[in-house]
Structure 1
Amino acid sequence: MFPRTVSAGSVRSLAPAAELPEAAPHPGPELRRDPLHAANGVAPLRAVAPRSSSDPLSFAGLAACIADARAAALAGGDGPPDPTTFASLRARLERAAAKLPPSYRREVADPLLRSLERLGARGFARVLAEDPEREGAARLLLDVAQAVLQHGEGYAARATAAFQEVVSDLYEGFLSAEDRRGVKPPDHGVVPPLVRWGSAETGPYTWPATATETLGVEAAVVSLPAANASAGILAWPALAHETAGHDLLEADDGLRDELARVVRERLLGEKMGLALADYWADRIEETASDVLGVLNMGPAAAVGLVGYFRAMNGAAGGAGTLRNVGRTEDPHPADIARAYLAAETVRLLSFEGATRWADRLTAEADRDLGRIRLGEFPVTAGVAKASAAVVARAIAQTRLRALDGRAFRDLQDWRDQDEAVVAELRRELEGAGARTGKARVEAGRYAEGAYAAHAVAAGVYAAIGGTSSPEQAMTGMIGMLAGMHDRNAAWGAPRVAPSSGAPAGPRVA
């Protein structure tokens, strides 16, 4: 979904040689500077039953959330400045590494230090000089370094803990799913991704393990703009797209290619035409990541996608609506096609309200409906929606060889139990906000079985339902996530007994 997602094999090893490394991140249109294609004519909205403002399906607070995300993007601001002096960077990394858990020292910090030693001061300077725009090998090296430094040096410690907990939960939750028993472990990525705060200009992005392993590092790195440490709650559901999507797709060799074949075959089988089949299949990386994000975080990932795209399009000088045109050279599908895809993925989920949520999300996307063009071809709204439904089913429900005959929906789903946990967490957030004016939730006061993805969903539901301001929901969500991280044994905390209501392990869907 988001700007700088690096494809497998796009970076050569930084290690031993004099030959300079290269990297080729996918381009990202979300922070685009070009004007939006105007919507020509707005289709009538399907009827949606009125709901109270306390119901997240009312979307009573969605406009405020979009304004909040747009303001965060326009506020700018970066994370800590990139270190550009070899000796200083090496010394800081050595100190910061000592504060990481053993697994991250072993799989991230120590390999990074060894790669730096092989480069030496001259090699390090050469890498920076040959990537002055920080879009390739230098960006990769500095991002991994920033991930280690920001954790070890305590940058925005509370928000960083919250951010890390979400990413760890999404990654571990997928790998620990009960139905994954008997499925081979991923081919890449030993530990969950490490997180870092970056610039507003780049938006959310990830370097998958297939990129970081060129440094000897065995974990992905996920980045959010530093502004989203305190504002822009709609950026946080994007973490499901980055981590449960891109990072896990890249972790299994052959998975992405198999999904592309399946999507193409299903669309052709439905007589959708070769051009449309190629359009979706050629964008499988972003398309599948959208589907996987919804499977792992439920409707919050879908409404987050719609709201965040509107916010970023507005911040880039456009109309603040979903794009109806998907350019041929853009690796991302058109915004409106992705909104329909997210809605149709919600429709496949197991919780009781899935159909109502899907219909409401489709109606919300229809507000921005104009003349759809996917690549070189105009497409009717009906065809766009029908193709999105076929693609969602193909990705979520097909049994895949790369997953040893399992389907993604077998491994991750969103059930009534998840909605019940989110409702309880939302009551905690809203109750704390009513008492204090700011939703600060005491550590440990969680519904039983609650995990980080539930906490993000609760914050999003509270904000889009209008019962909490985006600021209140964000404050409470970060406090809740930081409390979860304090009890995460992988980060050195003693494991709390499940009866306490605190998380006891990776989320099992």
Structure 2
Amino acid sequence: MAAHADGAHPRRRCPLSSWATSHGTFAQPCGPARPSRPMKQWTHDAPLRIVCTCWEVLMARTEKGRKVARGGTPAGRTAVRRTRNGALGESESQGVDIRNLPACIQDIVLAAQDTDPGPPEPLDYHQLRGRIEAARVTLPPLYRDEVLVPFLRILDKLGSQGFAEVLLRDPTREREAGLVIDAAHTILQNGENYQLVATDAFEEVVSDLYDGFLSAEDRRNVKPPDRGVIPPLVKWGSPQFGPYTWPVDVTRSVLGMGAGIVSLPPAHARVGLLAWSAIGHEVGGHDILHADDGLPEELAIAVNEHLQAGKLASLGHYWSERIDETASDVLGILNMGPAAGIGLIGYFRGLNLAFRGEGRLRNGGRASDPHPAGILRGFLAAYVVARLRFDHAAEWSQVILNEVRMDVVPEELVLAGKKVDPEDARRSAELVAEVIVSSKLNALEGHSLGSIQTWRNSDEEKVQEMRRLLVSGLGALPDAVTEGIYAAHLVAAGVTAALAAEADVRRIFDRMIRLLKQMHDRNPSWGPLFIRHRSDVAPHFLYPYPRHRV
């Protein structure tokens, strides 16, 4: 992202600024760290666009000494970091098979090096308005009212001249023009069937995270969210930015839309399976955390106090300043199980291999990076998995922990300019996992995030059932199979199947996408009724009658 010499983006007025009520001016995507302040005064200053690829990975693209150029020849598997005895950096425990992790990492490298820009920008105002109007019938009623109609209203207020001025003011598409163009793409790509199968598949994965934490079924005995949030619309494009999101508070304040926007590089429609386990929660966590008033602030205070009590005060400050991204990682694992944890590690290793030539997690974390350092996120994943409620949680946690430990480089472990002991880093992640998963929060009426959503033996059974479908190559999902199965189960099945020895990653990915598309076609939120979340339509039975067999 381009920035001025002082590290801040210029703040300029534009034709949209009169409607940007809550932000007024456009904040930078990943700006400098907030100044230190007492934790009780902590507030969330949401960026206009949240870029979910690690800041240092993005910066690595400009390094002259990188070993793999974007779009160049893929690095071989030998570039993956090796252990001290020369074996590839992989772990295996009884019942947990990740021997194909190097191939999955290489799959991410191929996706990262793909420069497909996606569909062209809709720059003609009159053509754009006509295409948006034509797309009206393709969206379900909920998204017509919350997204399409408000966007048309903004286009009408801008007019042809105002629309052209917005585009001229933001030639790099990092601010107001980027938001407007992306909003148009979310409607057009859905309405005009761009990457039809992959688009619907990705929409289903993103929707499932929202369903898991905000639906009426999962929030029994917990008040409804303070802010009604519907899942974001997805789009493909802007590979130079990697994965990113425009959160709903931005789309609402600037465009009047009731849903956020999620963007992925177009290559991820074809390749990069592990990204599907890591990106959905990355780009969705912000809206979920802010659906309940005071939740992120309460989590930040709890994390800071807990680490201070554990004599890790400086790390408490580091983690709490990055509570949105930290809690988003936790939400993803609670929703998708251990596949999200190991997937995150493989995904970041692949990005670092593509852009830096070294396939390991980053140990350093800049003060300006809103994400915790990669090595901390790996430790966090291991300890969140350990707190899940299924029989193999400890086993999976140890496998993930072994992988993270292989990537630790003590002399590089510098967080926000301060050298950190590896053991302190590990302990801090363990404490953060405990706080975010188990703390009873006032914002949730005394409930914890882990009590609303977690991973159980029943989820593992569904994953095994889906793995058999993916490996066998059977076609459609029968109704008897899809009952009680969600996108998280299918992606977890795809990840664990691809990680197993001698798996065909590309074939599993293709089958996973097609089955997710079938699942999306049956999602009631995309039907003719106004249904926010799939699980909102769930009967409460008086007596557990045995189900009739068909």
Q: TM-score higher than 0.5 here? A: yes
Q: Aligned pair in 2 of structure 1 residues 297, 122: CA closer, same or farther (>3 Å)?
A: same
Partner Cα separation in structure 1 for residue 172 and residue 239 of structure 2: 15
Q: Deviations over 1:248-269 (max 9, x none)?
A: 0133332211111111000001
Aligned equivalent of 2:16? 14
Q: Aligned pair in 2 of structure 1 residues 353, 507: CA closer, same or farther (>3 Å)?
A: farther
Aligned equivalent of 1:345? 384
SS in 2 for 1:196: strand
Shift of 1:182: 4.2
Aligned equivalent of 2:110? 71
Q: Aligned pair in 2 of structure 1 residues 253, 67: CA closer, same or farther (>3 Å)?
A: same
Aligned equivalent of 1:237? 277
Partner Cα separation in structure 1 for residue 535 and residue 402 of structure 2: 38
Which is worse superposed, 147-156 or 170-179? Answer: 170-179
Shift of 1:179: 5.3
Which is worse superposed, 141-150 or 192-201? Answer: 192-201
Aligned equivalent of 1:4? none
Aligned equivalent of 1:431? 472
Gap runs ≥5 in structure 2 = 1-11, 31-50, 67-80, 540-550
Q: Is 2:497 aligned against 1:462?
A: yes
1:102 aligned residue (130, 141, 154): 141
How does 1:354-503 map onto structure 2 within 5 Å? 354-371=393-410, 372-432=413-473, 441-444=475-478, 446=481, 448-492=483-527
Aligned letter for 2:419? P
2:194 aligned residue (155, 165, 169): 155
SS in 2 for 1:195: strand
Aligned equivalent of 2:125? 86
Partner Cα separation in structure 1 for residue 239 and residue 286 of structure 2: 20
1:194 aligned residue (225, 233, 241): 233
Aligned equivalent of 1:500? none
Aligned equivalent of 1:262? 302
Shift of 1:42: 7.6
Q: Deviations over 1:228-278 (max 9, x none)?
A: 111100110124423552220133332211111111000001111x22111
Identity in percent? 47
Aligned equivalent of 1:216? 256
Q: Deviations over 1:438-476 (max 9, x none)?
A: xx6324363542111100000001101135311011111
Shift of 1:173: 2.3
Q: Aligned pair in 2 of structure 1 residues 420, 505: CA closer, same or farther (>3 Å)?
A: farther
Q: Contact 2:217/2:538 (CA < 8 Å) preserved in 1?
A: no
Partner Cα separation in structure 2 for residue 118 and residue 489 of structure 1: 33
Q: Aligned pair in 2 of structure 1 residues 454, 308: CA closer, same or farther (>3 Å)?
A: same
Q: Aligned pair in 2 of structure 1 residues 412, 167: CA closer, same or farther (>3 Å)?
A: same
How does 1:50-65 map onto structure 2 within 5 Å? 50-51=92-93, 55=95, 57-65=96-104
Q: Contact 1:189/1:220 (CA < 8 Å) preserved in 2?
A: no
Shift of 1:18: 11
SS in 2 for 1:275: helix
Aligned equivalent of 1:310? 349
Q: Deviations over 1:160-210 (max 9, x none)?
A: 111111111221222126452343333445422111112322222222211
Q: Contact 2:201/2:520 (CA < 8 Å) preserved in 1?
A: yes
Gap runs ≥5 in structure 1 = 1-9, 433-439, 495-502
Partner Cα separation in structure 1 for residue 493 and residue 281 of structure 2: 17
Q: Deviations over 1:294-339 (max 9, x none)?
A: 1111111111110010111111133121101111221111101110
Which is worse superposed, 63-72 or 22-31? Answer: 22-31
Q: Aligned pair in 2 of structure 1 residues 358, 68: CA closer, same or farther (>3 Å)?
A: same
Partner Cα separation in structure 2 for residue 244 and residue 412 of structure 1: 15
Partner Cα separation in structure 2 for residue 312 and residue 18 of structure 1: 35
SS in 1 for 2:198: helix
Q: Aligned pair in 2 of structure 1 residues 389, 239: CA closer, same or farther (>3 Å)?
A: same
> Alpha carbon RMSD of aligned pairs, Å?
3.1
Aligned equivalent of 2:211? 172
Q: Aligned pair in 2 of structure 1 residues 11, 363: CA closer, same or farther (>3 Å)?
A: farther
Q: TM-score with structure 1 length normalisation? A: 0.87
Shift of 1:490: 1.9
Aligned letter for 2:259? A
Aligned letter for 2:489? H
Shift of 1:137: 1.5
Name the count of aligned residue pairs: 480
Which is worse superposed, 193-202 or 352-361? Answer: 193-202
Aligned letter for 1:252? D
Partner Cα separation in structure 2 for residue 13 and residue 400 of structure 1: 41
Which is worse superposed, 208-217 or 235-244? Answer: 235-244
